[in-house]
Amino acid sequence: MYGRLFQLQEETLKTLANQKRLEIVQLLGQGELTVSEMIEMLGISQSNLSQHLAVLRRYQIVATRKEGLYVYYRLTDGHIAEAIKQLREFLKIRYAYEPEITKLNRLNDPALYPIVKDPVCGMRLSESEAYASVMHNNKSYHFCASGCYDKFTAHTARYINVKNVNQGGIPYAL
């Protein structure tokens, strides 16, 4: 009776079994984005992003709308972002003994996390949803995806700007 549903779950999980695709789903969980915005946030080439988006479109995880010269991508259903978030929470519990996961679990209450701004692309996100966080000169910087994190770590001085720093956030060790 559930055979077809299990088959669909398997196909969906295989589709999502890629770190960049998981990052794309997390980013689109915040709202629709253009290809150029995602390229900057993810730090991958347009052709690589197009391949990932094609897979996600084929399995109806993302959809598009065109406005002038821009193509906007969005999740077809917010439940997928919530499912990925629940999986992350499961993994944070399951692998709580790992040092990096322990850091994530120290402040596990999402209500404790303020909204911050990625210093590279300007995206607003919750600290709890950040791809990575960095302490620099006793200030916290949070990143939406790997591309923004990589750009910041390679060219930190270019992106340090008092307006982009989480001044009122809860201190934590990284």
DSSP, residue by residue, 66-79 = EETTEEEEEES-TH
Taking residues 67-86, what's their average pLDDT?
Answer: 93
Would you state the pLDDT for residue 171?
34
Q: pLDDT tens digits, residue range 2-24?
A: 889 999 999 999 999 999 999 99
> Residue 160 has which token pair?
């340090």
- Residue 107 pLDDT class (50, 70, 90 cuts): low
Say whether 14 sits in a helix, a strand or coil.
helix
- What residues does each domain of the chain span? 3-75, 107-164
- Residue 86 pLDDT class (50, 70, 90 cuts): very high
**CATH top class, domain 3-75:** mainly alpha
